[in-house]
A and B are shown apart, each in its own frame.
Chain A
Amino acid sequence: MQAVAHYTAYKPRPFTREERQHVTILFGGLTWKHERLIQATMHNLGYNAQPLPNIRRSDLDAGKELIDVGACCPTIFTTGNLVNFLKSEVARRGRDEVVNKYVFLTAGACGPCRFGQYHESYTMALDGLGLRDFRLFLLAQNQLDQGAAAGGGLEINLALSLGLVWAILCADVLTDMEYLTRPYEVVPGQTEEVLRESIEELYEVFRNRPIQGREGNKWKILGWHYLTDYFTDALERVRKKWEAIEVDRLRVKPKVKITGEFWLQTHEGEGNYNMKRWLEQEGAEVIPPPVAVWLDYLLHSPILKLEKRRRHERRARLKIAIIRALEHIFHRTYNRFRQALGGLPYELPDQEELKRLADPYYHYELRGGEGHMLVGKALYAYLHKKAHMICELSPYSCMPNTMSIGAMAQVQGKYPDMLYAPIEVKGDAEIHALSRCQMILTEAKKRAQQEFEQALAETGLTVEAIRAVEARHPELTRSTYRIPHYGYAGTAANYVVHIARKWRRALA
């Protein structure tokens, strides 16, 4: 009998605890705001950590060269992103140093979509680069306490996971502030400046998170994150910076809700044709999708599943109770962060409502991508008049998204006046995608204008009268002044109603 060498899959060599001092953990995939605060959390725990550069068009080419044909757009972009970084580092430092100096940490998934198989593309790219001994590790997105990765160099424990989640929530609420403010800023560029200052201040807050001595006690770590004012105090300090920004809310702008596949809708850059920035430049106000909605979905989905399996699953009731408690902690924390910023960032949509809205069109247990949320969020925005238009960003060759977008045909049949722009992002067909979006945006602009005129007519106000009120109450022109939702989608229309209701007597 002879010996045979069978194929084996990639397995990273261990990343040891002793290596922590000298090895940098690479990560990426979110916005620069999220990544900066994630970096702070990792620095806080003594890791060297560095986000990959933001996605560029050239990453698409690099990814296409090295992985199997037919990959979905986020896989190609993110693989190419890692490839280009490693290539440049190899050129700068040499192969051996790169292999020993860096490890790459990426999100894993347990779903049926190929997101759970991204690492196959990464390893194929490493083969192509001749860097098979470069180490990459997976972080399961649904487990807060996974223990030490091979070698113990990276410990995915509660101190790290809660830090990451809190960092993401803070970045989310600040992203909302950014998109609520920038379209109306009177001094161009001021929002960007304040945003950078805010993130840097929060970087210090996360880096100096006082959790030393609590690493061993999970309840203490959870309790401290949940109960103390450490983060809300920091956000209140940040809020004061935003007060300096003057805004003009009488600029009539269509509100565009961004939905779609997770990576593509969250991304800000060339990976999605800079869609959010482009929409703003075209005169829109964008409602960005918070990562928190996705985390909320991940938390809530097991409840729905367990409720269906009460008779078959051991301790189903107890598990449901625990998840509900975690949900409560999550929502309360998010709302505290919102309140610290004056209640301006948007509330999270109720997961049960998203399920109920999507139910006739898309079954809530169909997993992958955004699942039923894509349909639910579009209907939520439309029926609650939260936006004039929904821009749905779907990656080329994304499997789950094509299904839910297909299901949207029935939604559009029932609500023909819903302005819905499904955009397929391939990375190399920008003009086509933008022109499609522009067609629907034109209609959204008309609706925003009609709404504004209707609000003026209903209230009997004029722009001049509002300007006069603003002159007497300069706090109205601060970016931190909150305008309630009065049933109009547009900011300007709601602003008119707000002025009318609050200053009716003075105006009379």
Chain B
Amino acid sequence: MTIATSGPDLDGTPQAELLDWLSDMLLIRRFEEVADELTLRGKVPGGMHAAIGQEAVAVGAVRGLRSDDIVSGTHRSHHHALAKGLPVGGVLAELFGKATGVVGGRGGSMHLADFERGMWGSNGIVGAGLGIAMGAALGQVVKGSDQVALGFFGDGGANTGRVWEFVNLAAVWKLPLIAVCENNVYAVETMSSQVTGGESVAARAAGFGLPSHQIDGQDVVAVYHAVREAAERGRSGGGPTFLELLTYRYRGHNSGEVIRYRTEDEVTRWRTSKDPIERFCARLTEQGLLDPDELDRRTSAAHAQVDDAVRFAEESPWPDPSTAAENVSAWTRSGR
């Protein structure tokens, strides 16, 4: 299994968009840092899982799709949702449980959704999001639409049986699914390589008879190319693709976690040599597309957006308690 990384130049990428990709990554980083802090201050009921360090995965993947394509996420999905264009204030308000949250405070950090923007839910059940995407891909086939669906799951999720049930069904029915394993090395405190048989997740997937690649998930351009190619294949009836994106989370599994299962050295190594934002900035600078002033401007813009989101979430009202049992299903008789 070779690890795909993009070449030194940016050929084949939409040049005009590259700075927007950077802005998205800066926004996600800032959002996660601030949300983590707000969680520690008790503002986010139930806590949350930050994806700091994994920005290139989300931005590269979403940018490789069409805006009407479908994405489903995991319990760690703020980055997926923000890359998919969900309003920053709405996402933060959802974490707070406010009425203005993207699903009105019904979901929370692990259950963000916005069907109009193609975000078909982040999911609190490990492996389940891939099932939603697989079914979504089937729905597109049944409708004769050319949308594709991308389902994220983790290296931990790759050890649940259901993930392979979904991959197999997608493979035999040639569904336009992109199954994306976001391999950030750990599942809670367990190093995945210590509990996972075989050479790699991507190698395991290849056994189901679909194209399967390992990609450098810290390289937004490489992720973009891999997903775009997979989306084209899916759109033209070529069936599903499996991608294992190699990435890393800087923070603990959830906010406030005390980390004993890895060394500071390891984190520093990833931060200093493979940080997705720094690497992308360096590349853009080399290509003459970015200078320090532009980076400052974009960084400040991201900070301002997140500041606005915090104000918005803080000032937003709570949902009306009398609506708590509404919209369960048309079959539901109201009342207790």
Report if A and B associate in a common complex.
Answer: no
Residues of B bordering A, CB below 8 Å: none
**Chain A residues near B (Cβ < 8 Å):** none
